[in-house]
Amino acid sequence: MSAPSVPNKPQHSRRDTALIHGLSTSEVQALSEACIEAKGRAYCPYSKFRVGASLLLTSGQIIRGANVENAAYPVGTCAERTALGTAVVEGARRGDIRALAVATDISPPASPCGMCRQYIREFCEPSMPVLMYDKDGKSTVLTLEQLLPMSFGPESLPMH
Ligand code: THU
């Protein structure tokens, strides 16, 4: 019997990279559509920099968020934190979030800001994939651990 042929091309497309993180093609599709749609709801009259975010919960529910700015600039909130706050109000807690996606109008894609990385860390596993979509809908995927190595989280506190 002959040995199975081994293709010499890479076997994973960009979309399959997300499959490595345990997401199906349809889950990735739902996340990407939701964050790109949410980007259209951004309130960003000052920066004019639209950001949309989406979360996939273990229940299968998709939660959206967008950046919401304020005339007092520092009061504005990022899309990722808007989405996470909504998820918490919907009843999500640590361990209930399988993936986060974020979309902007730039290329290469934007990644969550430092404050958002820490905010995400409160509710998400370090292994959780973060999908980042550029202006053309192309994505880059990194884990939260890659974005925030050696992170400080709830379990670091003695009271945990
Ligand atoms: N912004 C986000 O929504 N998420 C990020 O991770 C980076 C920045 C928003 C904040 C502000 O409304 C605009 O993008 C420009 O900084």
Is 37 annotated as catalytic?
Answer: no
CA angle (125, 131, 134) in 5-degree steps = 155
Contact indicator for 114, 81 with CB cutoff of 8 Å: no
Q: pLDDT tens track of the chain, all 160 residues? A: 444 444 444 444 554 556 778 999 999 999 999 999 999 999 999 999 999 999 999 999 999 999 999 999 999 999 999 999 999 999 999 999 999 999 999 999 999 999 999 999 999 999 999 999 999 999 999 999 999 999 999 999 997 6
List the chain domain ranges: 19-146
Which of 36, 41, 47 has most ligand 1 atoms within 8 Å of CB, for mutation? 47
User: Does 96 contact ligand 1 (Cβ within 6 A)?
Assistant: no
| Nearest-10 crossing angle of helices 114-123, 79-89 | 20
Q: Give the start-end residues of each E strand in 39-143.
A: 52-57, 62-66, 97-103, 129-133, 139-143
CA angle (154, 34, 84) in 5-degree steps = 20
Nearest CA, atom 10, ligand 1? 78
Out of 3.40.50.150, 3.40.140.10, 3.90.226.10, 3.30.230.80, which CATH number does the structure's domain 19-146 have? 3.40.140.10
Q: What is the pTM of this model?
A: 0.89
